[in-house]
Amino acid sequence: SQTIHQWPATLVQPVGSPLSLECTVEGTSNPNLYWYRQAAGRGLQLLFYSVGIGQISSEVPQNLSASRPQDRQFILSSKKLLLSDSGFYLCAWSLGREQYFGPGTRLTVT
């Protein structure tokens, strides 16, 4: 069966520091991969999605970037965090119509 991992689970970072969040999927090949952000008490904001290695589509211009160095690995990065980057970051994958989510990373920028 398929499994999706995210780490770290929680992260506290100062403003201006770099960020790297990792997501990996097991048990499937060539999935579509997604990064979402969820602000406190809010809905989901799609940040990036990827339909293949090296293919990244950005939905929201901001100081975040994404990379897909391997088929089942999706990384979210920032060179300098802002206070507004705080939130709950969710990775997801899909192959057919269903989309499956990871456990999330809670990021607090101080």
Partner 1 sequence: GNSVTQMEGPVTLSEEAFLTINCTYTATGYPSLFWYVQYPGEGLQLLLKATKADDKGSNKGFEATYRKETTSFHLEKGSVQVSDSAVYFCALVKGGTYKYIFGTGTRLKVLA
Q: Which residues bind partner 1 (CB under 8 A)?
A: 32, 34, 42-44, 46, 49, 51, 59, 90, 92, 94, 97-104, 106
Residue 83 gets which letter from DSSP? G
Encoded tokens for 75: 């990384």
- Residue nearer to partner 1 on the CB measure, 17 or 55: 55
CA 61 centroid distance within chain: 15
| Torsion sign over Cα 62, 57, 5, 22 | negative
Min dist CB 80 to partner 1, Å, is 27
Min dist CB 34 to partner 1, Å, is 8
Amino acid at 74: F
- Residue nearer to partner 1 on the CB measure, 53 or 100: 100
Min dist CB 93 to partner 1, Å, is 11
- Residue nearer to partner 1 on the CB measure, 13 or 101: 101
Task: Give Cβ neighbours of residue 7 (< 8 Å, ≥ 6 apart).
Answer: 21, 22, 105
